[in-house]
Chains A and B, each alone.
Chain A
Amino acid sequence: GAVVSQHPSWVICKSGTSVKIECRSLDFQATTMFWYRQFPKQSLMLMATSNEGSKATYEQGVEKDKFLINHASLTLSTLTVTSAHPEDSSFYICSASGDTEEQYFGPGTRLTVT
C-alpha cells in the first residue's frame, strides 16, 4: 500500500517555457500533498503544502506565481513551473499523506532547463 506516482520522471525544457508535473496517490486518499525540491548533495527543501480543495501554503522564499500548485482531488496534485529558467533545474519530489502523519514519496521528477 501507500504508493505514490509522479509523471514525468524526467523532463528537459527550454528556458521560458512551462512544465507541469503530476503527483498521484494510487491506493489511498491523500488529504495532504507536499512538494519538495532537492539540489545535488543537499537535503529536501519543502516548497509547499496542499490540501485537497484548498489553496496551497507556500514556504518562505518560494514564489507562488512561479510554482503553481493545484490539488483538485484526493488523489492528484500538480506542480507547474512557469517561465522556467536554468536555475529551476532540480529534482522535484512530491509526497502524500492520508489519515496518518506518515508521508509517502513519489519517485521524483528530474527537471533540466536549457
Chain B
Amino acid sequence: QKEVEQNSGPLSVPEGAIASLNCTYSDRGSQSFFWYRQYSGKSPELIMFIYSNGDKEDGRFTAQLNKASQYVSLLIRDSQPSDSATYLCAVSGGRRALTFGSGTRLQVQP
C-alpha cells in the first residue's frame, strides 16, 4: 500500500475555474504536509505547507488538512494556464524526510 496517494490525472479545468487536488496518506502519525509544483523537466517548487487541521490560504492557493480523515487538499482559485504542472503532495512524519505521492497532472485550458 502506497503511503501517499494521489490521483495521477490529468485533471483538466478551464481557465478561471477552481482546481481541486486531493491527497490521502496512510501514516496517522504524520505531522507536516506539503504541496509542491513541478513543471516538466524541472525540480519541485514549494507552494504550501500546513501543519494544523483546517484551511490555510496564500494568494490563490488554499491548503486543507483533515487529520481524522488523513486527507489533505490543495485548491487553486482563478486557475491560469501557467498553473499547468504536476502537483506533488508530500508528508513528513517528523524525522524531516518527506514521502511524496506520485503527483497529479493539472491542465488548465485557455
Which of A32, A44, A46, A106 counts the most chain B CB atoms within 10 A? A44
Give, as a whole number of angstroms, the nearest-CB distance from B64 to chain A.
18
Given A32-B96, A49-B96, check contact A105 B101 (CB 8 Å): no
Q: Using known A-B contacts A42-B102, A43-B102, A43-B103, determine if residue A105 contacts B97 with beta carbons closer than 8 Å.
A: no
Residue pair B43, A107 in contact (C-beta under 8 Å): yes
Which residue of chain A has the shortest Cβ distance to B49 in the bound complex?
A: A102
Task: Chain A residues near B49: list those with CB within 8 A.
Answer: 101-102
Asked if A34 lies at the interface with its beta carbon under 8 angstroms from chain B, I say yes
CB-defined contacts of A46 to chain B, threshold 8 Å: 97-99
- Contact between chains at B97 and A108 (CB < 8 Å): no
Given contacts A43-B88, A43-B103, A44-B88, contact A103 B98 (CB under 8 A): yes
Q: How many residues of B contact A (CB 8 A)?
A: 20
A81 to B93, CA, bound (A): 29
**Complex: A105 Cα to B108 Cα, angstroms:** 25
- 29 pairs of residues in contact across A and B, judged by CB atoms under 8 Å: A32-B96, A34-B97, A34-B98, A43-B88, A43-B100, A43-B101, A43-B102, A44-B44, A44-B88, A44-B100, A46-B97, A46-B98, A46-B99, A49-B97, A93-B43, A93-B44, A97-B96, A101-B32, A101-B49, A102-B46, A102-B49, A103-B90, A103-B98, A104-B46, A105-B36, A105-B43, A106-B43, A108-B42, A108-B43
